[in-house]
């Protein structure tokens, strides 16, 4: 959760900077903010631009 004060510290505990990270959210706004922060911290980040709802609207597959 990008709005959590502990997001940055949690990312460093959970993620590995040698591996790419994929982020997404409903509309793309929160994931874009998370991606920016993670890139500044040295992570390679892939963001699902325009969010998961756009992905679904485009007819792309998802797993539930």
Q: Where are the domains of the chain?
A: 7-57
What pLDDT, in 10s, does the model give residues 4-49? 999 999 999 999 999 999 999 999 999 999 999 999 999 999 999 9
- Answer whether CATH 3.30.70.980 is correct for domain 7-57: no
Strand 45-47 and strand 21-23: the pairing is parallel
Q: In this structure, are residues 42 and 15 in contact, taking their beta carbons and an 8 Å threshold?
A: no
Confidence at residue 27, expressed as pLDDT on a 0 to 100 scale: 95
Q: Output the DSSP codes for 3-58.
A: TSTTHHHHHHHH--TTS-EEE--SSSHHHHHHHHHHHHTT--EEE-TTHHHHHHHT
The whole-model pTM stands at: 0.87
Phi, psi dihedrals of residue 19, rounded to the nearest 5°: -120, 140
pLDDT tier at 64, thresholds 50, 70, 90: confident
What residues form DSSP beta bridges with 60? none
Residue 3 has pLDDT above 90, yes or no: yes
Confidence at residue 63, expressed as pLDDT on a 0 to 100 scale: 86
């Amino acid at each position: 959760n990008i709005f959590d004060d502990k997001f940055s510290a949690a990312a460093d505990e959970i993620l590995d900077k040698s591996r790419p990270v994929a982020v997404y959210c409903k509309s793309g706004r929160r994931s874009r903010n998370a991606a920016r922060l993670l890139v500044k911290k040295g992570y390679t980040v892939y963001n699902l631009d325009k969010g998961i709802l756009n992905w679904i609207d485009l007819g792309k597959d998802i797993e539930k």
